[in-house]
Amino acid sequence: MDGRWGFVHWENILWDNKWNQGILDCVPDAFINAFTTLVKSIVNAPVSSLPQMFRFLPITNPSHPNLKRVQDSIQAKLMNETIVPCESFTSEKLFRKPHEVYKLLPSFRSILNAAKSQHVSFSTNIVSQGAYFLTSSLDEIEYHSILNFLRIRDLDPKWYVRCIASSNIVMGVSDDVYLQLLVFIADLNIQEDGRRIDTKKVKKIQFLTKIKMMNAASTSNPSFIVNVGEAYPYPSHVIAPNFVTVKLSGKNKYNMWKTQMLCLLKSHQMYGFIDGHIPRPAGNGKGKQKNPDFTAKDLWDELQHSYGPSVREQVAETKLTTRQAEIVIEVSSHEEEKTRKIPYEDFYKRRIYNCVLEGNTRSIVDQLGRFGLTPWDKLMNNGNTVLHVAVGSSTKNHELLKKLLEMTPPEYTLLDLVNSDGSGLLHVAAIGGNTEAVDMLVERNPELLLAKDKEGHTPLTLSVSNMHTETSKCLFQHMRANGYGSNYFSGESGEEIVVLAISCQDFSLANQIIRHYDAILPNSEAVLTALAQNFPRELNFWENRGDEFVDALKRTIQPYEATRDRLEEYFNWPCGHQLFITCFFLFVGLCAMKTVFYGLLKVLVGLFFEDTFYIHKDAGNLLFDVCVKILSKYNSSTYHQYYTTSTFEATRRNASTFIRCIMGLFPNAIWSTNEDGHNFIQYSVINRSEKIYNLIYEMSEHKNIYKTIKDSSGNNLLHLAARLAPTNKLNLISGAALQIQRELQWFKEVERFVCPLNRIQKNLDDETPEMVFTREHKDLVIEGESWIKKTTESYTITAALIITIVFAAAITVPGGNNQESGIPLFTNNIAFTVFAISDAISLFTAVTSLLMFLSILTARFAEQDFLFKLPTKLIIGLTMLFLSTTAMIIAFGATLFLVFGQRNLLMLIPIGALTCLPITSFVTLQFPLIMELISATYCGRIFVKEEYDYFY
């Protein structure tokens, strides 16, 4: 297993190719398997070597949207892999998922390292806090972009407070480390209710340190001891920045900062809180008495109540060591009190909200009981209750919603649970597409199906508008089962749902409603108009035959699956960089072979077009059922009110299947006219709807009426074809030259259909069709001329350069000539023969290409020239230029082989690879233009005169 798998660098990916798309879809799985195998399989490698492996992650922004999709897929899959190394405090390596790992602040990591050097154990406390933090070797600045890609988060400031409060670090470290800990807490920004407090806007920060001293048997100096009941001083309220001018930003500023800080502490009689001495007050002996309502023990419980469970039972009732103190950062500001107050109620509601989002059923039940809330209590400012949040966030964890519904008494109606928008629980489930929640809620109270929000929307309406197909079908089935369908789907509300479903292309649901209920109002054309506006495009050859092979393919093809565990058992993986290359391209190779084989079978049997086929089939069935419903329910004199608008909309959108069905069931629709007096054939010419225009050839002799028909302005069919096409139709064609060519093709086709007399007839503006065409397309012809000239000039320079190069190469042959006979020295060499032939082909084709481009530059650029003459010359010139470029590169490659590869045949490999690079680039970048020109000029006929059964 040498790891030589992969795509060579000169290959260009054809993004529209289905096989290449399949291969790209396999890359994320292959990458994940290879990467996790690399990270975890190296048993003896130290943790410090793992960060280098994370450099393989695709963190840079890709240059193509398809590659961006691959990158996003890799990132999403990495979130579920236990591949991030954590601090384990043991000799064994510990890996966790990215969302379970956090980054430590560098200052706190420094404190931990200092405590560890002083033999102060801290690991047990960290583990007890339920957080895993990143290994120090990966938590470096150079890996920050990788950590952002893995979405590794910073630890919540509350975690540091909990960790320090419950640890023995305060008691065990030296004075210097203890002072560092105080500075760390001072610089820490406390987060409350998810909002960060800006300490710059706060007038003062009070560090309230409450200490209880205990009698130590090892201490003989009575000045160090204060009993619990004795008085002790409090720290003064000091604005530290007014006294300490040096910011502690590095080791070089520590000594100066320390000097100013010690001066501050001593001047305010606070130094005793640092070194353990609490001097008795001077004077008459009356010192500040201890506040019995705010002892250190009380402060401890308040801290634990804010950041975790109460630990009153765990706190000693009598004495604490010198440094076993709780440090609380208290923020006070008159401006803050005026502008914002975060009540305690908002705090615990935020905690419950986060628990619901996490989906932890046991935790949310405990939190509700702890804070005295019920599932139907309002949790958010918009009126959402706990149940609202659970319904909207429990698409995967349904046990939480089930438990909350069980906690809700049966006599409590869910209809009353609405937010400020009037949305109930079923509305939220419908918006989020939570089908399982719909089943549970409807089972609890079926009346929720008919509930409306403030805008009058029912859950089914919201589900359809958000394109949740499965949820919409579920709601519809529940409405039928509970007997709500007859009233709801009959009349205006039913028609509204049908139109909405059609607009979201949920034709299956719309068809079910049409078949079971009377969802079409008299004198309403909304349903057919919506169908015409959203009718799917016509099926191609393979899509039309996809249903014939679907069942056979499903019975014969077994999907290929290869798991990482099997491959790990089979292969003996090596270590290091070569391991990653081997693993990755092995998986890519296997997945690519599977994709190619499976994709080929799908193309052969048309399974690839299965979804498109069934969407088109559902739309056709719905159209037929709607028409049958109109035929059976209403009088023939009112039919035109339903199909007139939809017929012209379908004509504009080139939906021939729609028009066939309408004309077949409503024959009089062929004579319908719009507000301008145009029938559907005239309208198809105006809007360049070739598939509708081709229906002329499926008519009997009735089509002759269109040869002489005129509109109210005296325009015959050729006058309409002479108009400029709508902008949205022209934009579908690239290049002004091809656009004017398509316009000429339309004009010539209609000219062949109409009577010869119509070609010279004038309209009411006294203009013939040719005059109209010239006037309408004057600007487009100028643009087309400019486009062709600029394109041709660029290619002319290229052809001239190629001629210069290959002509010089033909004179100065590689290897030189025999001095006596003048015959080239490599005459008998096969590579020299390849060089000579390629050079000759390149020269002749380049000259031909140059002549063609020159003939284009000297052309007169008349309107008719854009139809065949100019495109043909451009096709010949581009084709010759492509052959010339290819032959020149081959000749150059043969020269390289003659000079460097005579004694080493392996040189043929890099030479061949480099030769393919420019050829592939030319094919990728320029060949599509050649194919588009050929297709538009010769192969891409848009007017098809095939034999059909006459539909009229």
Beta strands in 378-535 (DSSP E): none
Q: Is residue 29 part of a domain?
A: no
Pairing type for strands 101-103 and 153-154 reads: parallel
In a domain, 117, yes or no: no
- Residue 117: per-residue pLDDT: 79
Q: Which amino acid is at 398?
A: H
Q: Can you tell me the mean pLDDT for 30-44?
A: 75
The CA–CA distances, whole Å, from 409 to 356, 376, 404, 426 equal: 20, 10, 10, 18
Amino acid 138: pLDDT: 80
Q: What are phi and psi of 799, to 5 degrees?
A: -65, -40
User: Residue 838 sits in which domain range?
Assistant: 787-939
Residue 89 has pLDDT above 90, yes or no: no
Q: Find the range with the poorest average confidence among 162-171, 318-327, 367-376, 802-811.
A: 318-327
Query: Which residues in 786-819 are b (16+ Cβ under 10 Å) and which e?
Result: ebbeebbeebbebbeebbebbeebeeebbeeeee
Query: Span 759-764, mean pLDDT?
Result: 92
Q: For 714-726, write each residue's pLDDT tens digit.
A: 999 999 999 999 9
pLDDT at 203 over 50: no
Enter the tokens of residue 312: 């009153």
Residue 305: per-residue pLDDT: 46
Residue 9 or 796, more confident: 796
Cβ neighbours around 772 below 10 Å, total: 22
Please report the pLDDT score of residue 593 as a whole number: 59
pLDDT of residue 582: 55
Residue 571 pLDDT greater than 80, yes or no = no
| pLDDT at residue 809 tops 50 | yes
**Domain-ending residue, one of 460, 485, 510:** 485
- Span of 245-259, 635-649, 872-886 with lowest mean pLDDT: 245-259
3 state DSSP class of 192: strand
pLDDT band at 269 (very low <50, low <70, confident <90, very high): low
Q: What is the pLDDT of residue 765?
A: 92
| Residues 451-480, mean pLDDT to the nearest whole number | 90
CA 283, CA 698: separation in Å to the nearest integer?
A: 117
* pLDDT tier for residue 913 given thresholds of 50, 70 and 90: confident
* 861 inside domain: yes
User: Residue 333 domain-assigned?
Assistant: no
pLDDT over 50 (residue 73): yes
- Where does a domain end: 485, 517, 534? 485
Q: What is the pLDDT of residue 952?
A: 58
Q: Would you say residue 615 has pLDDT above 50?
A: yes
Whether residue 451 is contained in a domain is answered as yes
Q: How many percent of the chain have pLDDT more than 70?
A: 68
Query: Average of pLDDT values for 171-198?
Result: 62
pLDDT-based confidence at residue 682 (cuts at 50, 70, 90): very high
Please provide the size of the chain in residues.
Answer: 952
Per-residue pLDDT, averaged over 551-580, amounts to 44
pLDDT band, very low/low/confident/very high, at 804 (cuts 50, 70, 90): very high
User: Which of 282-291, 860-869, 898-907 shows the lowest mean pLDDT across its residues?
Assistant: 282-291
- 860 within some domain: yes
Cβ–Cβ < 8 Å for 197, 185: no
* Residue 470 CA, distance from chain mean position: 22
Task: For residues 173 and 411, give the distance between their C-alpha atoms in angstroms, rounded to a whole number.
Answer: 60
pLDDT band at 740 (very low <50, low <70, confident <90, very high): very high
Residue 372 region by backbone torsions, left for phi larger than 0, else alpha for psi between -120 and 50, else beta: left
Residue 298 covered by a domain: no
Cβ atoms of 364 and 322 closer than 8 Å: no
| Structure tokens given for 292 | 């019995």
- The per-residue pLDDT for 188 is 66
Instruction: Give me the pLDDT at residue 300, please.
Output: 44
- Pairwise pLDDT comparison (725 vs 45), residue with the higher score: 725
Could you tell me which of 651, 659, 782, 786 has the C-alpha nearest to residue 720? 651
Chain-centroid distance of CA 652 in Å reads 33
Q: Is residue 148 part of a domain?
A: no
> In the prediction, which pLDDT does 567 show?
40
Label residue 16 by pLDDT band (50, 70, 90).
low
Average pLDDT, the chain: 74
Q: Average the pLDDT over 265-277 and give the result.
A: 58
Contact 79, 99 (CB under 8 A): yes
Question: Does pLDDT of 704 surpass 70?
Answer: yes
747 contacts 773 by C-beta, under 8 angstroms:
yes
| CATH number, domain containing residue 360 | 1.25.40.20
Evaluate whether 717 touches 682 at the Cβ level (below 8 Å): yes
For 633-656, what is each residue's pLDDT tens digit?
888 888 888 889 999 999 999 988
How far apart are alpha carbons 627 and 649 in whole angstroms? Answer: 16
Q: What is the 3-state secondary structure (H, E, C) of 288-321?
A: CCCCCCCCHHHHHHHHHHHHCCCCHHHCCCCCCC
Task: Give the model's confidence band at 832: pLDDT under 50 very low, under 70 low, under 90 confident, else very high.
Answer: confident
Q: How many structural domains compose the chain?
A: 2
Q: How confident is the model at residue 748 (pLDDT cuts 50, 70, 90)?
A: very high
**Which has more confidence, 612 or 452?**
452
Nearest of 305, 303, 351, 297 to residue 329 by alpha carbon:
303
Evaluate if residue 585 carries a pLDDT over 70: no
For residue 490, pLDDT beyond 90 = no
138 in Cβ contact with 50 (< 8 Å)? yes
pLDDT score at 363: 81
Task: Check residue 780 and give its pLDDT.
Answer: 93
Question: Which pLDDT score, from 0 to 100, does residue 595 have?
Answer: 56
